[in-house]
Amino acid sequence: MLQRKIPLFIVFLMGFLMTVQFYIPHPVSQTLYKYVLDWMNGVASMAIVLAVGSLIMHHWRRLKKPEFALYSAVTLVSLFFMAILGFFFGIREGSLFQKMFENVQIPLQATMFSLLAFYMASAAYRAFRARNLEATLLLLSAFILMIGIIPLGYYIHPRISDFALWILNVPNLAAKRGIMIGVGLGMMATSLKIILGIERNWLGG
Amino acid sequence: MHLAADPWVWVAAILTLFIFTFLYKDNPLYKFAEHLLVGVSAGYYLAIYWHNGVKPNIIDHLGQGQLIYLIPLILGLMFFTIFIPKTSYMIRWPIAFLLGAGSGLSIPATFQANIAEQIKGTMLQPLSFYYSNAALINAIILFVGVLTVLTYFFFSKEHKGALYTTARIGIIFLMIGFGASFGYTVMARVSLLIGRLQFLLGNWLGIIPSW
Amino acid sequence: MKIIRILSTLDRRIIFLLVGLGILIPLLKPLGIPENITPPVRDVYQFIDTLPPGSAILLSVDYDASVLPEVHPMFLSILRHAMLRKVKVIGIALNPAGVGLGVQAFDRISKEFGKKYGEDYVYLGFKPNMAATMLGLGEEIHKVFPTDYYGIPLDSLPMMKEIHSYRDIALVISFSGANIPALWVSYAYSRYGQKVAAGVTAVMAADYYPFLQTGQFIGMLGGMKGAAEYEDLVNRLLQKKGYRKPMPFAIKGMDSITVVHLLIILFIILGNLGYFLQKKEVK
């Protein structure tokens, strides 16, 4: 009862009320709507304990394994250090918290993703083959885009740039719109299945 | 060449180089940087979620005597039950609240944005043909494209006969679309590397103007 | 034939090196190819440029450092443009890892133009639930953000006394490397009719053209190219108004992108030549 029925009832009730309030803008439904919006941010804020809590537990366990201990210690120490800075010494510009963000978090995260440039080039070189009609079309479209969106393409001939924009605005748009409509229908169906209790994977084991 | 005098720039530059060592192969410097990023980010989230979420949207209200905020507080506290095996099932309640409300809110919004407006934009509107022949041709290509792509994603019937031909045309549109995305993706990935090299050459080494 | 075979089987480290050099050399010796301005970027620029002074726009930091070189220059340029045009700016963040980028950008650009916090701009910080935040802003901003990023009550900020919902905001611009701009369309545009524009990474740009055609986006900046175009427009305006031109980050980057694009096209052609040669030999 407590384990499955109440959560399923909450999901149904909230889903039903939030769908209905869109179509029936009665003062009562509007008041409820505003409260729910307000609470959603409050509740979601506390969900961070889930993520950080499991991260801490994971690294805490790894401290006992000599091959990982040092690295996990780095994670745990930096986590608590950053959190203490943020909680007790302020988060505004010029604070140590913001300095750590700007000079540790930003460069690390940005550089990690910048490695993709190398791998993307090497993958394009190895795997991008005009094996059949579909692959050839993909390749041609990519070529025109790569030339057409850089200023050089425009200065070689403005028509190249126009052609790239045409691809984006017509055939690409048609493809992406088809996908968008499909995804939209899928999202609506999934939402409805969750509300009606047909989709229950979120309940876990 | 004017090397940066700010020690923080040096910290950022050294950490940047640590990550770049991965290009050679996985190594302890990279692993250290990776674990540091995870720790610093998690600590950052904790502080931000507290200052910008829990405190203003729950605690401050309760401090002002608005007891109705006990509802989100209690729901939020249920997230902590995950760490107590006996009561861990209670974590489903706040998830149910967020998931139910989120699903309910998303149904009309998705319908409007992803479906109704998109269908409207695809309809052949006689007025738009008035402008030029090119507009008419483009509108027809768009119309055919959207219909054939949707047909390609229609799996309830086997793609045979007319359905096969239509779906094949859909694939052509999809491939052009994916090609366009790939063309753009190259730019995206290269940009990220440019950013780091600009930092190293500019802000750190002072060879080029810093950003 | 032998040359083609060698060129089509290069070691990946050589590819890495060539890509690295392709970026590095234009940074050291810029090519200086001027920008051409595309319609989606011009639309955003013109919208902000024709806003009456004193109107307000909302910039949402929906990105983080993983896409910084693409999206951050857009954010800085649009912020410069708005501040130059005396448009009030409200900053919020829906990506927890990007909150500090907003702090940094507002701090930097407000100093360039001598703008005052609370009167010319505010930074409201982060909220975790995107749908609830986007919808809540249509009802009452002060309820979604009782305090700003720094913990100052919104009611005590002079600028926010007259701004309560989307009715008081001319444009929302979402800067993102994910699908958050689409959510702005779903929740802010569809429900409240709020005008929305987007500054997105190149990876996302092609996906958003359907929103441009329907007018769900009034305009869009896509990738470093979009950033460079806006940077160019704003830098020209700054120069006209007698301000010092800031370092054009994205414009410079476009030189490297030009070289690497040509390199990648070459790699793909070489790879394919090798592939067809091999196929012929097998036959």
Of C27, C214, C223, Cβ closest to residue B118: C214
Domain that holds residue C117: 39-246
The answer to whether residues C99 and C163 belong to one domain is: yes
Record the tokens describing residue A86, joined without a space.
């943020």
State pLDDT tens for residues B13-45.
999 999 999 988 899 999 999 999 999 999 999
Structure tokens at B195: 């950013």
Task: State the CATH number of the domain containing residue C112.
Answer: 3.40.50
* Structural domain contains residue C251: no
Residue A60 tokens, joined: 């805490």
Residue A30 contacts residue A21 (beta carbons within 8 Å): yes
Q: Which of A124, A130, A161 faces C36 most closely, judged by CB atoms?
A: A161
Which residue ranges make up each domain of chain B? 123-206
Question: Residue B194 and residue C256: Cβ atoms within 8 Å?
Answer: yes
Q: Identify the CA nearest to C173 among candidates C157, C195, C154.
A: C195
Residue B130: its pLDDT value, please? 64
**Nearest in space to B191 (alpha carbons), one of C237, A83, C63, A23:** C63
pLDDT, average across residues B128-157: 86
Contact B51 C129 (CB under 8 A): no
Interface test with A, best of B20, B37, B141 (most A CBs within 10 A): B37
> Tokens 């695809």 map to which residue?
B122
The least confident of A47-61, B134-148, C249-263, C269-283 is C269-283
Segment C86-109 mean pLDDT: 97
The torsion angle over the Cα atoms of residues B7, B8, B12 and B13, rounded to 10 degrees, is -20
Q: Are C253 and C228 in contact (CB under 8 A)?
A: yes
Chain B neighbours (≥3 Cβ pairs under 8 A) are: A, C
Q: Please indicate, yes or no, whether residues C178 and C223 belong to a single structural domain of this protein.
A: yes
Same domain, C86 and C189: yes
**ipTM for the whole complex:** 0.92
Of A119-133, B42-56, B197-211, C232-246, least confident by mean pLDDT is A119-133
Q: Residues of A with CB below 8 A from B177's CB?
A: 141, 171-172, 174-176, 179
Q: Is B206 left (phi over 0), alpha (psi -120 to 50) or beta?
A: left
**What pairing do the DSSP bridges indicate for beta strands C171-176 and C56-62?**
parallel
Of C200, C188, C185, C206, the residue nearest C230 (C-alpha): C200
What pLDDT score does C275 carry?
86
The two structure tokens encoding residue B48:
């931000």
Chain A neighbours among B 75-114 (CB < 8 Å)?
75-77, 79-80, 82-83, 89-108, 110-111, 113-114
The answer on C47 and C22 residing in a single domain is no
For residue A181, give the nearest of C215, B111, B105 by alpha carbon: B111
Euclidean distance between the first and final Cα of chain A, in Å? 15
pLDDT of residue A148: 94
Task: Provide the mean pLDDT of chain B.
Answer: 92
pLDDT-derived band at C209, boundaries 50, 70, 90: very high
> Residue A81, class by beta-carbon neighbours within 10 Å (0-12 exposed, 13-18 middle, 19+ buried)?
middle
Give the contacts of C269 (CB within 8 A, at least 6 positions apart): none
- Given this model, what pLDDT does residue C6 score? 81
pLDDT over threshold 80, residue B128: no
The answer on C261 and C242 residing in a single domain is no
Residue C138 contacts residue C159 (beta carbons within 8 Å): no
pLDDT of A53 reads 94
Q: Enumerate the residues of chain B whose CB falls inside 8 A of the CB of residue C256.
A: 190, 194
The reply to whether residue B104 touches residue A15, judged by beta carbons under 8 angstroms, is yes
Number of structural domains chain C divides into:
2
What pairing do the DSSP bridges indicate for beta strands C196-200 and C171-176? parallel
- Minimum-distance CB partner of A22 among B31, B71, B108: B108
pLDDT for C278 beyond 80: yes
Q: Which pTM does this prediction carry?
A: 0.94
Q: Are C55 and C78 in the same domain?
A: yes
* Interchain proximity B113–C261, CB inside 8 Å: no
Same domain flag for C98 and C79: yes
Contacts of B67 (CB under 8 A, 6+ apart): none
Note whether C103 and C180 are same-domain residues: yes
The rounded distance, in Å, linking the Cα atoms of A71 and A73 is: 5
Asked if B35 and A75 touch (Cβ cutoff 8 Å), the reply is yes
pLDDT, one tens digit per residue, over A39-68 is: 999 999 999 999 999 999 999 999 999 989
Concatenated DSSP letters of B62-131: HHTT-GGGHHHHHHHHGGGGGGSGGGGGGGHHHHHHHHHHHHHHHHHHHIIIIIIHHHHHHS--HHHHTT
Percent of chain C with pLDDT over 70: 100
User: For all residues of chain A together, what is the average pLDDT?
Assistant: 93
On whether both C106 and C215 belong to a single domain, the answer is: yes
- Is the same domain home to C132 and C175? yes
Nearest to B46 among A18, A83, A173 (CB): A83
Q: What is the pLDDT of residue B161?
A: 87
- Closest to C206 (Cβ–Cβ): which among B181, B207, B210? B181
Tokens 């592939």 correspond to C275
The distance of Cα C9 from the centroid of its chain, to the nearest Å, equals 37
By the CB < 8 Å criterion, does C145 face chain B? yes
Q: What's the average model confidence in pLDDT over C159-165? A: 96
Q: Give Cβ neighbours of residue B169 (< 8 Å, ≥ 6 apart).
A: B144, B148
Chain C interface, best mutation among B187, B198, B204, B211, by max C CB count within 10 A: B187
* % of chain C at pLDDT higher than 90: 84
For B192, nearest residue in chain A (alpha carbons): A114
Q: Is the pLDDT of residue B131 over 80?
A: no
Q: Indicate if the pLDDT at residue C5 is higher than 80.
A: no
Same domain, residue pair C97 and C236: yes
